[in-house]
Amino acid sequence: MDRPLTTSGGGGGGGGIAGSLTQFSNCMAVNMIGVKYNIVETLTRHRKLNLQVMPKRAGDTAVITGGSRGIGAEVVKQLMILDMHVIIGCRKEAAGVKLIDKLRKEGIQSGSAEVLLLDLNSFESVRQFSQNLLDRNIPINILINNAGIMFVPKITTVDGFESHFQTNYLSHFLLTNLLMPLLVNGGSPYRVSRVINVSSVANFGGKINFDDLNMDKHYDKYMAYMSTKLMQVVSSKDLNARLKADGKPVRVYSVHPGVIYTELYSNLWYLQPIGCIVKKMFKNAEQGADGIVFVATSPEVGENDGGEFFMNCRKTVPNPKARDPSVQQKLWSASQTLVGLKSFVHNDTIEIVTMT
């Protein structure tokens, strides 16, 4: 399944001096957003999730992408403590198995977990992963779209898309739609299933250029990241409204886990010399997981909170573009076309038709 990707090299994709200035401006923008919210998080008490008083979820199933390391690994740990069955979708199955072994050695005996191959750089892999679960007819109570990349050079996936666009957004859009029948089966009028899109405060700097969604005309790694984080928030609000209008027991939320020093920051060369200092200033992976698991499982989060953007376990107003119905509709239509999927929502069932 691991097929080669095409790397264009460098951080830009043309544009000369003007393009370089734009990229510098976007670099400054995303860093200023990070500094702003790092200060906010430093001055705001972190809401620690008390798993001991949370309702146990024995018999429930959660699916998470990229759950073998970083924040995702901490999310898996917390969900297992809540006695859930966790399905980890990741590119390196051995890494997921290693994590499960590690958690058992740490003394976590509750819950269960399994690992399935999932490469978000490939729609074929997303479809195979989804079909595996559909064939097993496993009701899904929680889907956490966690995997992502940040600030990488221009890479074209096997499907022909810029890697931020496909990994962070398009493949998760496809995955969520393909798994929707199982999410519907996992929900009820008394407790809806939840889809969690792990976004970022970087969405505040994002712009969606519908004339160049794939950044073929000009590539900017900073805007590539910010725009896909915005797409996640837009898509969360839009899909949630569609499901609510159709009476489906599924709600969609977006979450900023915190400004957290993970491997994603390895692409920022200017932070490496002060990495030890930065790590102390930022939240850690466990704290990032707290916010995600809170929105995924807490009774304090209701179905009427669907479509909302959360930060530190609190609803927060996102980028105004996320609340624009015209932007939501255009992104929905474009996304369906690009992933080759058409969704028919009926009164009683959701039928997913794959278009070749």
Asked if the model's pLDDT at residue 2 lies above 50, the reply is no
pLDDT digits (tens, 9 = 90+) for 95-151: 999 999 999 999 999 999 999 999 999 999 999 999 999 999 999 999 999 999 999
pLDDT at 346: 43
Q: What is the pLDDT of residues 30-71, one digit of tens each?
A: 989 988 988 889 889 899 999 999 999 999 999 999 999 999
Average pLDDT of the residues in 61-88: 97
247-260: pLDDT as tens digits = 999 999 999 999 88
| Rounded mean pLDDT, 348-355 | 49
Q: Which of 58-67, 73-82, 164-173, 274-283 has the lowest mean pLDDT?
A: 274-283
Q: Tell me what pLDDT residue 274 has.
A: 45
pLDDT score recorded for residue 221: 95
- Mean pLDDT score, 281-289: 87
Which pLDDT score is estimated for 38?
A: 87
Q: What are phi and psi of 90, to 5 degrees?
A: -150, 165
| pLDDT value, residue 262 | 53
Of residues 209 and 31, which shows the higher confidence score? Answer: 209
Percent of the chain with pLDDT over 70: 86
User: What pLDDT is attached to residue 19?
Assistant: 74
Judged by average pLDDT, the poorest of 93-107, 270-284, 293-307 is 270-284
Least confident stretch, 37-51, 55-69, 190-204, 325-339: 37-51
List of domains in the chain:
57-339 (3.40.50.720)
pLDDT band at 73 (very low <50, low <70, confident <90, very high): very high
Residue 323 has pLDDT above 70, yes or no: yes
pLDDT at 87 over 90: yes
Query: What is the rounded average pLDDT of the residues 303-322?
Result: 96
pLDDT recorded at residue 16:
74
Residue in 37, 222, 225, 253 annotated catalytic: 225
Q: Give the pLDDT score at 3.
A: 43
Annotated catalytic residue 225: yes
Identify the pLDDT of residue 276: 54
Judge whether residue 232 has pLDDT over 90.
Answer: yes
Mean pLDDT of 185-211: 97
Mean pLDDT of the chain: 89
